[in-house]
Chain A
C-alpha cells in the first residue's frame, strides 16, 4: 500500500519545506537595505484599494522606504491588532479607535507623535478638524488634551440618507435638511411609503430599517438622554427619556410597521433592500459613498428625526492612525501618518476615491459645496461634525464591554417581547458593574 516511492516523496517534501522555512527566516530581516514599515489597517475593498494607492504614492516619494501592508476585514481588526500588540509583532503604523487610546498609552504601545506633528511645516494642525485631533490627545489623566498619540484618519459622521427617486415617485415632498422631521412626521412619511407593490399581501417597499447598534444613538441623544453621565462613570440608561427613545425605536418595527418585520429583517438584508431601492431612509456614512455611487437611484442626506429636544443628533466615528512605540523608524513612520492624514496630496486621493470626507478644513469646504457629485447635500456631513455630532459612549471609557452588553441582550425589546422601560431597568446594574470594573482597571494601569 505505501510504497517506497511514498516515503521518498515524503522525505523530499520535507527537505523542500525545510529549505523554504529557512528562506522564510532569512526574509524577516531587512535585506533589501530599505527601511521597511508595516502598516496595518482595515476596511472594505474600496477603502483597501484607495489606501494601497496612497501608500504606493508615499513610497514613490520616499524611495528608501518600503511599506508592507496588512489589511483585515472590519470585524476581525480588533482581535488582530490586539494579538499583534500582545504578540510583540506590532505593526509600525496602525489604526486604533479613540476608545483604546488610554489603554495603549498607559501600556506604552503608542509613540508620542507631538514632536512630529507640531512645528512641522508639512502639517497644519489648524487646518484639521480639531474635534478629530483632540480625540487622540491624552495627558495621562484625561483624554482630549495633552500630547498627540494618533492622527485622525478621518471623521465618520453617520448621516441619514433618503431615496430621492422613491419619495418623488410616491408623491411625497422631499425632506428639507434645514427642518428635520419630528418623530411623528417621520413615522407618517414612512407609513406612506411602506407598500405592497406586487400584491402578495406582504409589503416589499419599506420606510426604513435601522440597525440598533448604529442608529439608536440618534434617537436617544435627540431625546435628551445618554448612556453615561458627565463624569463618564455612571450608566444612565434608566432615564425615562432613554426608555422612551428606545421604545420608539422598537415601535418603528412592531407598532408602526415601517420596517421589515422580524422575520424579514437582518442588517445585511436591510442594507441590501436599501441598495435595491426598496427602502426610503437609511443611514449613510462617508465610507458608503463609493458603493452608493453605483446605486440605481438618486439619494441625498438629511438630519435624523428629532425627539423631545428638537435638535438632531448622531455619532461621529473616527479611527486614528498611530505609530508603535517600538518602531525602528519613528521618523518615517510619522511621515507616513502625516501623509495619510494631513497632506493635501494624500487626502485628495482618498477623497477622490469616495471613501471618506476630507480631513483638511479648506478641502472639506470646497468638497461640500460641490453639488455635482452624489450625495448633493454633502454639507450635512460637515454639519454633523460642526454642530450636532457626538462621540460614541464607549470612546470615553477604558473598555467597551459595558456598552457592548447593552446591545448583546437587546433583541427582546426590538421584537416587542419586552418593554424598553423594563429592559433599561434590568440592564443598568449589569452595565454599571462592567463599567466599574473598567474604571478600576484604568486606575490600576495608571500607576
Chain B
C-alpha cells in the first residue's frame, strides 16, 4: 500500500469515527425533538418510534397554555439584554481605562477586580440574597440584573488583553489632538475592539440566558420566572403525569433562541472561544 493510500484509509476511518461521535452527540437532542412531536402514550412504545407517524404539533401549541412560557421568554430577554448591553458598555470602557489611560494604583485596582474571579458565586449567594431581600427585591428580576450592570470581570480582563495589542500611538495622537476621553473610547477604541466585544457579548448573553442557580434562589412567582425555571417547573409538574411530549416541547422552545444565535454566528463564536479560552 502506498503512503497516500494509507493516509486515505486512515482518514476514512477517522471520518467514520467522527461521524459516529457526531451521531452520539446529536442523537439525544433529536430524540428530544422526536418525543416532543409524539402523542403522550407513544413515548412508552417499545421498540421506540423515532419518527412519529403523525407529527403532534399540538404539543407546541399546548405549552403556551400549560405554563408561563411566554413570560419566561420575556423575563429571560429582559435580564439577558439589559445586562449584556449595559454591562458590555461598562466593561469595555473600564477595559479601555485599564489598558490605555494612566492613573495611580491602576495595577492594584485591576488585581483587586481579578480576585473576584476567584470567589465562586455560591460563596456569595447567601449574603447577596439577604441584601436584596432587605431591599424588597426578592421575586423581582432586579437581583439578576443589577449586579451585571456594573460589568463583567472576565470581559474586562479579556478586552484589556485585546487592547494591549492595539498600538498606543493611535490613542496618544488623539489625546494630543484634544479629543475628549469618552470620544477616545467611543470613536477610536471601540471600533477597533468591536469584533472582540461582540463575541464576548454573545457568550455572556448565552451564559445569562442559561443561568439557573440565581433565578431559582430569587424568583417565586411563575410570572416572574426566567425561561429556564419555567421549563424546570414543567418537568416537575408534568413528569408525574408522564406528559413527556409536553415537557420536551417546552425544553425545545427554551433551547431554540440560543441555538439559532449560535448557528448564525457559529464561526465567530467558535473562533472567539478558541482564542480566549473563556468559557461561554
Do A and B touch (CB < 8 Å)?
Answer: yes
How many residues of chain B are within 8 Å of chain A by beta carbon?
A: 33
For the complex, is B145 an interface residue (Cβ under 8 Å from A)? yes
The stretch of A81-89, A344-352, A428-436 that contacts the partner chain: A81-89
Assess whether A75 is in contact with B139, with CB atoms less than 8 Å apart.
no
Assess whether B221 is in contact with A70, with CB atoms less than 8 Å apart.
yes
Q: Which of B77, B78, B134 contacts A88 (CB 8 A)?
A: B134
Q: CA separation between A97 and B218, bound complex, in Å?
A: 22
Scan residues 191-239 of chain B and give those whose CB is less than 8 A from a CB of chain A.
194-195, 198, 217-218, 220-222, 233, 236-237
Q: Which of A14, A71, A75, A268 contacts B85 (CB 8 A)?
A: A14
Q: Which of B77, B141, B195 contacts A1 (CB 8 A)?
A: B195
B40 CB to nearest chain A CB (Å):
13
Contacts of A68 in B (CB 8 A): 221
Interface residues on A, range: 20 to 34
User: Given contacts A14-B85, A18-B82, A272-B242, is CB(A84)–CB(B222) below 8 Å?
Assistant: no
For the complex, is B107 an interface residue (Cβ under 8 Å from A)? no
Scan residues 227-280 of chain B and give those whose CB is less than 8 A from a CB of chain A.
233, 236-237, 240-242, 268
Interface core residue of A17, A70, A76 (most chain B CB under 10 Å)? A17
| Chain B proximity mask over A64-94: 1 for CB below 8 Å, otherwise 0 | 0000101111011000100110111100000
Q: CA separation between A291 and B13, bound complex, in Å?
A: 55
Nearest to A74 among chain B residues (CB) is: B236
Assess whether B237 is in contact with A1, with CB atoms less than 8 Å apart.
no
Q: CA separation between A87 and B136, bound complex, in Å?
A: 7
Assess whether B81 is in contact with A14, with CB atoms less than 8 Å apart.
yes
Nearest to B80 among chain A residues (CB) is: A17
Scan residues 77-118 of chain B and give those whose CB is less than 8 A from a CB of chain A.
77-78, 81-82, 85-86
The stretch of A5-13, A105-113, A154-162, A376-384 that contacts the partner chain: A5-13
Contacts of A73 in B (CB 8 A): 233, 236-237
B174 CB to nearest chain A CB (Å):
21
For the complex, is A407 an interface residue (Cβ under 8 Å from B)? no
Assess whether A80 is in contact with B220, with CB atoms less than 8 Å apart.
yes
Contacts of A76 in B (CB 8 A): 233, 236
Scan residues 132-146 of chain B and give those whose CB is less than 8 A from a CB of chain A.
132-134, 136, 138-141, 145
Q: Which of A13, A24, A83, A268 contacts B138 (CB 8 A)?
A: A83
Interface core residue of A6, A18, A80, A83 (most chain B CB under 10 Å)? A83
For the complex, is A21 an interface residue (Cβ under 8 Å from B)? yes
B121 CB to nearest chain A CB (Å):
16
